[in-house]
Amino acid sequence: MADQSIPIGGSLDVTPRDHERVPLLDRLHEWVVTVDHKRLGILYVLYALFFMAVAGAEALSMRIQLAVPNNHFLQPELYDQFFTMHGTTMVFLVGMPILFGIANYIVPLQIGARDMAFPRLNAFSFWLTAFGGILLYWSYIGGFGLYGMGNAPDVGWWAYAPLSTKPFSIGPTIDYWALALIVSGFGTLGTAINIIATTLSMRCKGMTLLRMPLFVWLMLVVSALTLITITPLTAAQVMLLLDRNLGAHFFDAQAGGSALLWIHFFWIFGHPEVYVLVLPVFGVASEIIPVFSRKAIFGYPAMVAASVGIAFVSLGVWAHHMFTVGMTSVSNTFFVLSTMLVGIPTGIKIFNWLATIWGGKVRFQTPMLFCVAFIFQFLIAGLTGIMLAVAPWDWQLHNSYFVIAHFHYVLVGAIVFNIFAAVYYWFPKVTGKMLSETLGKWHFWLFLIGFHLTFDTMHFVGIMGMPRSIYTYEANRGWGHLNFIISVGAFIQGIAVLIFFWNVIVSLRKGKEAGNDPWDAWTLEWATPSPPPAYNFASDPVVHSRRPLWDIKHPDDPDWKYES
Amino acid sequence: MDSHSIAAQTAEPAHLEHEHPAFLRHHFENVAQQREAATFGMWLFLLTEIMFFGGLFCAYLIFRNWYYPAFVAGSHTLHIWAGTLNTTLLIISSFTMAMAVHAAEVRHRGPLLRWMVLTIVLGCGFLCVKAYEWHDEWVNHHVPGLNFSIQEFTHTNPAYPGDKPLAPDMAEKTQIYYSLYFVMTGMHALHMIIGVSLLAILLIRARGGAFTNGHIAPVENFGLYWHFVDIVWIFLFPLLYLISRHQ
Amino acid sequence: MIREHGARAPRLILLLMTAAALVGPSAWADLPQQTPSIFAPASTPADTIFGLSVFALAVTGGIFVVVGGMLAYAIVRYRERPNDDTSEPPQIYGSVQVELAWTVIPILIVVVLFLTTARIIFAIQDAPQPKDALDVTVIGHQFWWEFRYPKLGIVTANELHVPVSTSQEPLPTFLHLLSADVDHSFWVPQLAGKTDLIPNHPNETWIEPTHTGLYYGQCAQFCGVEHAKMLLRVYVETPAQFAAWVKSQQQPAVEDPQVAAGREIFETHACANCHAIKGTGALGTFGPDLTHLASRDTIAAGAADNTPQNLFDWIKDPDSMKPGCLMPSMQLSDNNIHELVAYLETLH
């Protein structure tokens, strides 16, 4: 395409190319000791995809168990372990690594830097995260079970004390849980520090803060949020570990400790954590939607302000997870207000995406399909979020399947959809090959249908009074048919994900050559070869607007004439 | 492709020229950028540390609010002289660390080594006093979970005849005070141990002249960390040792 | 080329789905169904919440129709068509007026929704307790419910009996929520929103049932392995029925010499360590009070109907009915269990 006119690129490449036939062991060794942000990014994504398959299998087992009432597919102990591990894995070993992995790869490219600020810290962070995951799953082997089988944490990913304290959870599984999250949490902190230092001190010439791509902005905000919220959870986990192993009494209600304290600590971390996961995908959407609508993002300054606003407000809403714990009516009212306020900057974002599409020429290639579905689904997720913010209604909906539906609409409908969009969008840059559009369409439509069968239906069983975390339910409650539909949808999603994996494998081997700039996009990463060489840019880029490649492709009508 | 092209066409691949100092890493443009990034990263790390200790302080405030008499009684069993001594040691060590950073800035290797050694000695001194106190608490059955007796709190403390003996129910809650005492001083001491170890490594590198050639970022950033650990203690001291001492 | 291949996928998928729907199972559909829906309220607080939720649903539904409609219109109207030229569309970077509009309108909606919500929060949560209201203390245990009526001297389990409230004679029930071990949550969707039972943190909620009948609920905060079988029934009765129930519950346990053997087994085995039967030596409080066990419809916190056969299976091996529950199998002989069941069956 237009890449011939772009004057920068990788003339210089010090990594050995694959066709030079480096022995396999040496190549593996290179990957293990690498400090290159691009390789680490790929490692993060592969690691996360592996655990996505694991946690997905756990989810499918749970759906078989719940497909019919009074089912005996899973023992209750195993079911409890599966929903605990599914949640913990998806949040800590899939969501955060895959998003930080994509950021690791893309952020330095988008701001014209040669690497992250601290490459060795970057590698260290990845391996901490990786070993955190291994430690968590090691509990299946290392944690002895009551019933002669291996054991794993079984108290929910929220691990409410006192259920997670020693008298009610004997054996070492909760210790595995806490230690694994502390270890991988340190990894996340390292990456967050790295991303902030990189974006603030390593931008290329001309890349002012207000010219950064929105994905970089969102990652900056997310990293800040991570720094603030992870360590309070670490503090709580240290206290939990002391309670369990050395007889401290922080959460031991019998000895005067406080069960509520854990809930507060957990959600002070846990609610911003949701934004840590969702804000990066806002960034992804803000990159993809303009490119495939062929228009500049609408209201860039408002998008930046809304992102910062969401992050800021999200620090003050945690107790909306706690409307049922018996807070005073005044506290409840406060958290209703703060929670509803989040809706305003979020609404601004949806409107801006809509306005970006409006008047454009929308190309429905796979990345854009996932993004359009994302906007619809995120709209619904936001609206059910408003419903849950209505505290009295939350007294009914809390801990019901309605809540499960709501947060899966965010985590799957928004985040996973956009992660797929991001993979389809940046895969050509990372590998030099296009993903197959045919398989991509199959993947998209099957996943969309499966998603709606599963999670739309969950709203209804929630309203019909089905609580979460139950391994089975009574036959006369009228939940049977709907649960069967939910399970069918889950398997359709499973098939779609298999198609995705197949697509990745096939396209890696014989996909179409991508070239530097297959989507005719506008940010700096598309000015490098695919894949970019080590140290990315042969010479330091200089930019003059938010869309440097647009300026080059349209010298008669460049962006910098219009941006204030 | 004139003035608005993305790259300055004349620029050489920057990381091939080796005219820069040896400690400048390839991906940075210049020393100033590298130093800025490193210092900034350290401040961010300290932010996470503040949130960590902030979490513990929150727990402390809640429980102190609930069980104030137990906290007073627990606090009155600590050695105020030990806490004061440790506070003094740490404040002096902050001064010696600041002098070490200064010595690195003016590229004086001898003074840099001396100030660093002094800081290590003071840090170890702090840890020794702390170890003595913990031993004392173990002997007096003040370690919750492992070795605890409420007996001392259901009777009048001879050192504080004004304190009323606690009812058994409230005396139980002194365990919460001690849980907090041990987790807070323990996490602080862990930071001290890590700090002393890091400083020892820096000392070895400093002997080879690694930080007296203009590359002061590691010493400077370690100084930030050391001061932070000091400041945490400045909060811990009154919160744990000085409850109700004015009466 | 892309478009041709892509269009085949959705059609095929639709076909497969229709097939799947046709073979869907329907084995359990013939059971009498009673769904504890939050949209079928039968009590004052649940009814108030239902009204609020309809309002919130209308507001959010309106937003969805408008924004979703605009989005659907945009992607259809502004799609790239095959015969389009290759020029880029006009670039628009933003518009202060438009952006201001879609900031101010949501703020107004939030204000309205917030004020409505706040009013209902205070109305339900801070409702004063009338003097003649019934007091019940609810204690959550792993994995069953203990109900104490302190003013009436009744202790029972898993099945809560309350009088119906009419407009002539309002009779709310105030529930004081405690926990003996871990966090639980009291939820009967048709009667009220849920409130958690947290150790060392007493809570309170209230119901005011306006229709007689049986209402299902269950624990709504994960509390351990048998959380799913911590079921809950509320019997809303006419004042006369309720008075009769109170009277029968206040009696000591039935003494029937015919089942003395069973009673002796109960008192001399470990049963008595955990269970209480008023008027005998059994004083345990770890498990449910069994003084009037035979008056209850279910056993094992609603996991099974209260029939002699189920009772037999339950005592023989509780794990077979509720794996992971805290009641141990006492390793009694079948004969002993039969005698025990015969005794328990007399405890009306």
Tens of pLDDT, residue by residue over B78-133, are 999 999 999 999 999 999 999 999 999 999 999 999 999 999 999 999 999 999 99
* Predicted TM-score (pTM) of this structure: 0.91
Average pLDDT of A148-164?
A: 83
The pLDDT confidence band at residue C83, using thresholds 50, 70 and 90, is confident
Q: Per-residue DSSP letters for A118-169?
A: -HHHHHHHHHHHHHHHHHHHHHHHHSBPTTSSB----STTTT-TTTTSTTTS
Domains of chain C: 134-237 (2.60.40.420), 257-345 (2.60.40.420)
Average pLDDT of A452-478?
A: 93
Fold of A26-561: Cytochrome C Oxidase; Chain A (1.20.210)
Nearest Cα to Cα of residue A471 among A110, A144, A120, A65:
A65
Rounded percentage of chain A residues whose pLDDT exceeds 90:
78
Q: Per-residue DSSP letters for B156-206?
A: --TT-TTSPPPPHHHHHTHHHHHHHHHHHHHHHHHHHHHHHHHHHHHHHHH
| Residue B7 confidence (pLDDT) | 44
**B9, B48, B58 member nearest A7 (Cβ):** B9
| Residue B84 confidence (pLDDT) | 94
- Please check the confidence at residue A144 and state whether its pLDDT lies above 70: no
Average pLDDT of B153-180?
A: 84
How far is it, in rounded angstroms, from Cα A529 to Cα B2? Answer: 22
Nearest Cα to Cα of residue C290 among C266, C318, C308, C259:
C266
Beta strands in A401-494 (DSSP E): none
The chain B residue lying nearest A196, using CA atoms, is B41
Residue-range domain boundaries for chain B: 42-241
How far is it, in rounded angstroms, from Cα A191 to Cα A280? Answer: 14
Q: CB distance from C33 to chain A under 8 Å? A: yes
Q: What's the sign of the alpha-carbon dihedral C51, C57, C60, C65? A: negative
Q: Per-residue DSSP letters for A6-44?
A: ---------SPPGGG---HHHHHHHHHH---HHHHHHHH
Nearest Cα to Cα of residue A353 among A400, A296, A396:
A296
Average pLDDT of A265-284?
A: 94
The pLDDT confidence band at residue A506, using thresholds 50, 70 and 90, is very high
CATH number of this structure's domain B42-241, picked from the four choices 1.10.3720.10, 1.20.120.80, 2.60.40.420, 3.40.50.720? 1.20.120.80
Chains C and B touch (3+ CB pairs under 8 A): no
How far is it, in rounded angstroms, from Cα B158 to Cα B144? Answer: 22
Q: What's the sign of the alpha-carbon dihedral A337, A338, A342, A344? A: positive
Helices (H), A315-436: 329-357, 366-389, 391-397, 401-408, 417-431
Give strand pairing partners of C236: C162, C213
Chain A residues in contact with C182 (beta carbon < 8 A) = 160, 162-163, 168, 259
* Substitution target from C17, C23, C34, C35 for chain A, most A beta carbons within 10 A: C35
* C:242-301 residues touching chain A, CB 8 A cutoff: none
Residue predicted with more confidence, A221 or C14: A221
| Residue B44 confidence (pLDDT) | 93
| Residue A37 confidence (pLDDT) | 93
How far is it, in rounded angstroms, from Cα C25 to Cα A143? Answer: 39
| Residue A13 confidence (pLDDT) | 45
- How many alpha carbons lie under 13 Å from residue C213 in its C-beta half-sphere? 15
- Please check the confidence at residue A19 and state whether its pLDDT lies above 70: no
How far is it, in rounded angstroms, from Cα A553 to Cα A543? Answer: 13
Q: Which residues, 6 or more positions from A337, have their beta carbon under 8 angstroms from its beta carbon? A: C114, C118
Beta strands in chain B (DSSP E): 142-143, 147-148
| Residue A25 confidence (pLDDT) | 86
Consecutive H or E run containing C211: none
| Residue C27 confidence (pLDDT) | 42
Chain C residues in contact with A470 (beta carbon < 8 A) = 218, 227-228
Q: Per-residue DSSP letters for A208-234?
A: -GGGS-HHHHHHHHHHHHHHHHHHHHH
CB C20 within 8 A of CB A453: no
**Least confident range of B31-40, C23-32, C122-131, C254-263:** C23-32
- Please check the confidence at residue A322 and state whether its pLDDT lies above 70: yes
| Mean pLDDT of all residues belonging to chain A | 90
* A:243-302 residues touching chain B, CB 8 A cutoff: 243, 246-250, 255-258, 261, 265
Q: What does the block give as tokens for B200?
A: 């020892």
The pLDDT confidence band at residue A254, using thresholds 50, 70 and 90, is confident
* C-beta atoms of A348 and C24 within 8 A: no
Rounded percentage of chain B residues whose pLDDT exceeds 90:
58
pLDDT digits (tens, 9 = 90+) for C269-291: 889 899 999 888 888 889 999 99
* C213–chain A nearest CA distance, Å: 15
pLDDT digits (tens, 9 = 90+) for C46-73: 999 999 999 999 999 999 999 999 999 9
* A:392-451 residues touching chain C, CB 8 A cutoff: 392-400, 437-438, 441-442, 445-446, 449
The pLDDT confidence band at residue B13, using thresholds 50, 70 and 90, is very low
* Substitution target from A36, A121, A189, A201 for chain B, most B beta carbons within 10 A: A201
**B12, B15, B55 member nearest A232 (Cβ):** B55
Q: What does the block give as tokens for C50?
A: 């239902």
- Please check the confidence at residue C18 and state whether its pLDDT lies above 60: no
pLDDT digits (tens, 9 = 90+) for A28-51: 888 998 999 999 999 999 999 999
Average pLDDT of A475-504?
A: 94
- Please check the confidence at residue A281 and state whether its pLDDT lies above 90: yes
Three-class secondary structure of residue A482 per DSSP: helix
> Is the bond into A162 cis (omega within 30 degrees of 0)?
yes
Q: What are phi and psi of C161, to 5 degrees?
A: -110, 130
Residue-range domain boundaries for chain A: 26-561
| Residue B165 confidence (pLDDT) | 84
- Please check the confidence at residue A2 and state whether its pLDDT lies above 50: no
**Rounded-to-10 torsion of CA C185, C190, C191, C194:** 20
Average pLDDT of A71-81?
A: 91
**A197, A539, A548 member nearest B44 (Cβ):** A197
**B13, B48, B146 member nearest A539 (Cβ):** B13
Nearest Cα to Cα of residue A217 among A106, A122, A101, A119:
A106
Q: Is C194 exposed, middle or buried (0-12, 13-18, 19+ CB in 10 A)?
A: buried
